[in-house]
Structure 1
């Protein structure tokens, strides 16, 4: 097992928290000016990218250069792609729900119905309520979920086959996310598909190819930390939390509650795997 620079990593936790907070505060200022808090969805992927880059710079004299570069590039590719996808959807080129995943509904313009419902409960200022409940909470989640991205960059010694397996799993995840999002966006551009259930392409094998892709991305990044037992112990909380969010939290569970109202969804759910890709039943 390779060594792990505990002291330097502890300092980096503060730097990464500042990076995540900075992205969220800048996004909050933009949202207040635009009068729409849905822009925070774009910041999710960018905040992870900022954490990865800040950690890469901070770990320059500590971790293995190859591993540092690998985990930073993989995180940035995932984060920037996700942010670009959600930004395009927000300009009206597609429709979605949540972080741009699932069958979705939503609107290309105006406030996201989720945030409108949340902020309608604000006891005082809607903006200050949004800052506490949305931006600071998401910043905390970015910091927590990004722990393997941070920890991997403080491992000394060369990468092993386990790290290579992690990169391969990440690639599988990116494939499912990217292709799934593209297939759904193309499906929704056809007016004839309005109100219909997307059951083509990757969506034939899983009801949530992009949630499954997210799952693979974060377990893949975690595997890159497994060259060090200490780093793996720190980073394992990330894929566990992300898996719970995707399957039990704001992902699959909430989306399917909405989708259950659509004609044909029960039949689609009956023949299609709920998460892991499987042949249609």
Structure 2
């Protein structure tokens, strides 16, 4: 919570709520580091999970940082503050930061569970968890790169990215983010109490589908390019990559 409070101070100075995304992502690295230091689970298992968490965290942190320093505040946060009005808005933003910190703790359930596992043998669930994590991290990195390259081309202004993974899903980055967290949850199934670890990917799925992921992103896209994005919605899966329902016009 101290991290989130400090980040709120940066927000107050810069008036850019996007800093919370940086802190939220980095918080998982800190939590995993704490798990290594304060738990007595089997070291190889803890360090394997730590490597998975840190690779995911720092890859995403780098991506978000570039966006934070080169663009204006995320329109999603602008819209949230607009809906809140001006009365006590900074206090409301503070509680939003703290709430995200609490969400990070719940999402970290697999880290706590795995770090307490003293068994010195591997589980098949841990193997499957690594596979899912690898697919998720690589898929999200590819989706982010494809969208970044598309936006960096001035000729694409006003158009919707339908290249690569974005041809099969309107939000492939969110889909593979979920796959990554599913990997963490499955990894935890090899430890006592591992079923509780599945709360993490389930919560992430709810956040992506119903709260801060797809709903806000779709709302902003419809505002910025209503005709093109509405057509995109009609032909392309919202989340799970799949074939288009009809051929798009070239």
TM-score over 0.5 for the pair? yes
**Is the alpha carbon distance of 1:69 and 1:81 closer, same or farther for their aligned partners in structure 2, counting shifts above 3 Å?**
same
Q: Are the aligned partners of 1:211 and 1:251 in contact in 2 as well (CA < 8 Å)?
A: yes
Cross-structure match for 2:134: 171
2:197 is aligned to 235
Residues of 2 paired with 1:112 and 1:183: CA distance? Answer: 19
Kindly indicate whether the alpha-carbon contact (under 8 Å) linking 1:66 and 1:159 is maintained by their aligned counterparts in 2. Answer: no
* Deviation at residue 260 of structure 1 after TM alignment: 3.5
**What SS does the corresponding residue of 1:263 show, helix, strand or coil?**
helix
Residue in structure 2 matching 1:213, options 172, 176, 179: 176
Corresponding residue SS for 1:220: helix
Instruction: Call closer, same or farther: CA 1:266–1:149 in 2, change over 3 Å.
Output: same
Q: Cα deviation per residue 1:68-109 (whole Å; 9 max; x = unaligned)?
A: 0111111111112112111101222xxxxxxxxxxxxxxx13
Q: Of 28, 33, 56, which aligns to 2:13?
A: 33
Q: Which residue of 2 aligns with 1:143?
A: 105
Instruction: Confirm or deny that 1:258 pairs with 2:220.
Output: yes
Q: Which residue of 2 aligns with 1:99?
A: none
Distance in 1, matches of 2:7 and 2:31, equals: 15
User: Offset of 1:268 from its aligned partner?
Assistant: 2.2
Q: Give yes or no for the alignment of 1:42 onto 2:22.
A: yes
Query: Residue 196 of structure 1 contacts residue 263 of structure 1 at CA under 8 Å; is this kept in 2?
Result: no
User: Does 2:210 align with 1:279?
Assistant: no
Kept in 2: contact 1:219–1:239 (CA 8 A): yes
List alignment gaps of at least 5 residues for structure 1: 1-20, 93-107
> Which structure 2 residues correspond to residues 1-281 of structure 1 after superposition, within 5 A?
21-59=1-39, 62-92=40-70, 108-109=71-72, 111-120=73-82, 121=84, 124-132=87-95, 134-157=96-119, 158-230=121-193, 232-261=194-223, 262-281=226-245
Partner Cα separation in structure 1 for residue 46 and residue 58 of structure 2? 18
Runs of 4+ with deviation above 6 angstroms = none
Under a length normalisation based on structure 2, what TM-score does the superposition of the two structures give?
0.89
Q: CA deviation at 1:127?
A: 2.8
**Distance in 2, Cα, partners of 1:274 & 1:37:** 26
CA shift in 2, pair 1:178/1:191, >3 Å: same
Deviates more, 1:155-164 or 1:267-276: 267-276
Pairwise CA distance, 1:125: 4.0
